[in-house]
Amino acid sequence: MNSNIRWAKSYTRPAGALFMRIILVVLGVLVALAGAVWALQGAGFILGSFMSNDPTWIWIGAVTALVGLGILAFGIRSHRTAKHA
């Protein structure tokens, strides 16, 4: 058990952790925005597309936006580490 405690105190993040976090945040924002646009097109607020006024795209957009928010939340929370005694 002591070896686990020593390992946890000496743990450092991999070199690409910050880069991966930035990628996840950017990807989450882009996916959430795309989902929001699709939902607004499906609801008829944004016209000029085959998706306009099609209720199917409201649901597809809403689910996509939620997935994007999940990716964003994971990217933001991934930098937190467990507190050590």
Quick check: 15 pLDDT over 90?
A: no
Across 24-42, average pLDDT = 97
Please state which of the ranges 58-62, 65-69, 70-74, 75-79 shows the lowest mean pLDDT. 75-79
63 vs 29: CA distance, rounded Å: 14
Cα 83 from Cα 10, distance rounded (Å): 13
Percent of the chain with pLDDT over 90: 65
Tell me the average pLDDT across 60-76: 97
Q: Please give the Cα distance from 77 to 30 (Å, whole number).
A: 18
- pLDDT confidence of residue 14: 75
Q: The whole model's pTM is what?
A: 0.75
